[in-house]
Amino acid sequence: MTEEEAGAWKDWLRDQGSRSRPFAWGRVPQTLAGHSDEVLAMAVTPDGRRAVSASYCKTLELWDLDSGRELRTLEGHTREVTAVAVTPDGRHAVSASFDRTLKLWDLDSGREIHTLEGHTRQVNAVAVTPDGRRAVSASSDHTLKLWDLDSGREIHTLEGHTRQVLAVAVTPDGRRAVSTSYDETLRLWDLDSGRELRTLEGHPRWVRAVAVMPDGRLVTGSSDGTIQVTRLAAPVSESEYDYEPALNRVIESSADGKRYIVGVRNGELQRLQELTGEGKPGVLQGLRPLPSR
């Protein structure tokens, strides 16, 4: 990913922290520099003021988005950090790693609160429930796990996938999760019981990215080069978008669920304006929020 594309992604995420500002095209105001190796993931606090990045260099960095200044380094993982999620109160972050663990961090102090252990292979993704009390992790050991963040204890192991689990998203009500896997399926889970509710099929190849919109629609990005929009209540694809790049790796939505950005293998960030089947993707070269009115 180029400096311009990285800046566009950062600015989009910052806008989604405030969930209130429209968009305009413009210059990239700053670059966050500090990691010594590839950055794999980033999460922004709900107030839009700070971001946490995860890297191959085994650390996370906390950033001030107004100044671009690095606030602190979070150290503790012994392998590459693959994913990070911030709790809704903006005070904590949960990270996932190749070292088979997750860690809960206090962002104000930089202190490690818990190490969540139980997976037998690398952890690829993590999502936090809207109440901030639980987290769901996805692993190459073919399972997901539900964790109690207050105690650091495992609540459930979600079993059903037959290959590595790549991504996970939680529904807005916090009661269900959707996972993707190399087994070319998506699975819907009941988080209270740990039970699999449904296997979702649609893409002919494996799905790498998943997001749940505020209205409950599911957006998935696949190695088949398509994005699909599906209603969980009636799991039939209602829209499909084709992409020349072969792999959709990241999906991030706007607050109203009408716009989203897709990150693809060739380093581009692509935007779809409406989830109607009529939106045409375009490449982002520099995105910034308009000043609040």
Distance of alpha carbon 136 from alpha carbon 215, whole angstroms? 21
pLDDT at 9: 52
Helix H or strand E encompassing 10: helix 3-18
> Please, are residues 164 and 174 in contact by the beta-carbon 8 Å criterion?
no
What fold characterizes domain 1-29+202-293?
Methylamine Dehydrogenase; Chain H (2.130.10)
Cα–Cα distance measured from residue 84 to residue 54, given in angstroms and rounded to the nearest whole number: 6
Angstrom distance (rounded) from CA 112 to CA 93: 10
Interatomic CA distance for residues 65 and 14, integer angstroms: 8
Q: State which residues of the chain have pLDDT below 70.
A: 1-37, 201-205, 222-226, 233-293
For residues 89 and 115, give the distance between their C-alpha atoms in angstroms, rounded to a whole number: 20
Q: How many other CB atoms are found less than 10 A from the CB of residue 109?
A: 10
Strands 217-222, 207-212: pairing is antiparallel
- Cβ 94 vs Cβ 56: under 8 Å: no
pTM: 0.74
Which residues are within 8 A (CB) of 1 and not within 5 positions of it... i.e. 6 or more apart? 9, 263, 267
Distance between CA atoms of residues 251 and 271, nearest Å: 10
Q: What integer pLDDT is reported at residue 146 of this predicted model?
A: 99
Tell me, what's the pLDDT at 96? Answer: 97
Q: pLDDT tens digits, residue range 125-159?
A: 999 999 999 999 999 999 999 999 999 999 999 99
CA distance 106 to 93: 7
Single-letter residue type at 163:
R
